[in-house]
Amino acid sequence: MNNIFSKRMLHPEKPSLEKLIVPVFIPHKGCPHLCVFCNQKRISGTAGSPSPEDVREYLSGAFSSGRPATTIAFYGGTFTAMPGLEQKKYLSVASEFVSKGLASGIRLSTRPDEMDGERARFLKEHSVKTVELGVQSLDDSVLGKSGRGHTVGDAIRAAKVVKDAGLELGIQLMAGLPGDSREKFLHTVSETVRLSPDFVRIYPALVVDGSELADMWRRGEHVPLSLFEAVELCAQAVEMFESAGIRVIRLGLQPGEELEKSLLAGPYHPSFGHLVRSRIALRKMLAALENYEGDSAEIVVNPRELSVYKGIRNANVRELSRATGKKIKISAGDAAPGEFKIQL
């Protein structure tokens, strides 16, 4: 069984918000299309998919430590495109742990064109609480060039179906897909806000060996975002989502040895989310400092957010000093989370 589950699968994700996640990867299960950016083996670090019995064994081990109730998450495939009996087998196994009070519910990901009212009702009957839709873009030309095989209309209908069924809605987006632009991506963000999901994930498109995007990149048909461009774009997206009360629970792919070995190009950084959050913090501090005179300033932040405000290797401290001409110090103090104080 060790050859089925990657190291990432054997450990729950760190709680990004309220919940802990026990992830189960089913690479390409049910996927009717191979999108240009996709090589699930490289991304997840595993080639095969576990059987329902493998999942039961894995979950038994995961819950043997008596950890608090967590969510069981099926990742990596198009869950609702699998044959109904196969879906039922996986969900029945996961439901056993929900019924025992060990897990609080089940979440899964699927494509917008593989979600309808009947599927939503079936999922809800089998302890599913959250459905993540791999929307990626809300621009039909970008979807077409990325080989997604679904339309913007499919995404809008699917989002409504999920919400009408009383399920939590998550939406996954990708920045920098073929044919995308800053304007198109920010339009996608605006339209996603209109769909009112409970949370979103944002990934910059990466060029991974073994994908069609890798061939396009080699032929000069695709130029990925630079790291700077991706951080700037995703920072703006995060601000738009969070100002609308929509949680952003992940930024960038989970770092992994298999992914890093196969990465050919694109805005990858193992701490991509940290870079984005630091960029947002930098913008807020720059705006606040415009109203302050003097040769120096100390910015007091919440202790847990000190590294975000300082930036990696104090990058924000240096940029604030350069941009304002002031001597800047960022220190931990009694500031509330998400807030800061300026002392002259």
Residue 281: inside a domain: no
Listed in order, strand segments (DSSP E) in the chain are 21-25, 70-75, 103-110, 128-136, 168-175, 199-204, 207-208, 247-251, 263-265, 296-301, 327-332, 340-343
Examine the domain organization and report whether 111 and 201 are in the same domain: yes
**What integer pLDDT is reported at residue 9 of this predicted model?**
31
Examine the domain organization and report whether 299 and 261 are in the same domain: no
Q: What percent of the chain has pLDDT over 90?
A: 75
Examine the domain organization and report whether 231 and 302 are in the same domain: no
Examine the domain organization and report whether 128 and 260 are in the same domain: yes
Mean pLDDT throughout 257-265? 89
Residue 167: inside a domain: yes
Residue 23: inside a domain: yes
pLDDT classification of 85: cutoffs 50, 70, 90: very high
Residue 277: inside a domain: no
Residue 57: inside a domain: yes
**What pTM was estimated for this model as a whole?**
0.86
Decide: residue 118, CB within 10 A, 0-12 exposed, 13-18 middle, 19+ buried.
Answer: exposed
Residues with Cβ < 8 Å from 142, sequence gap 6 or more?
136, 177, 178, 179, 180, 184
Examine the domain organization and report whether 324 and 242 are in the same domain: no
User: Strands 296-301 and 199-204: what pairing?
Assistant: unpaired
Provide the CATH number for the domain around residue 88.
3.20.20.70
Check if the beta carbon of residue 267 is closer than 8 Å to that of residue 229: yes
d(CA 179, CA 9): 33
Total domains in the fold of the chain? 2
Examine the domain organization and report whether 210 and 320 are in the same domain: no
Residue 246: inside a domain: yes
Residue 54: inside a domain: yes
If we measure between CA atoms, which residue out of 332, 259, 280, 343 comes closest to residue 302?
332
Give the range of the structural domain holding residue 334, as residue numbers without chain letter.
289-343
Out of 220, 241, 270, a domain closes at 270
Examine the domain organization and report whether 34 and 75 are in the same domain: yes
pLDDT above 60 for 2: no
Examine the domain organization and report whether 313 and 251 are in the same domain: no
Examine the domain organization and report whether 48 and 85 are in the same domain: yes
Lowest model confidence (mean pLDDT) among 11-20, 110-119, 168-177, 198-207? 11-20
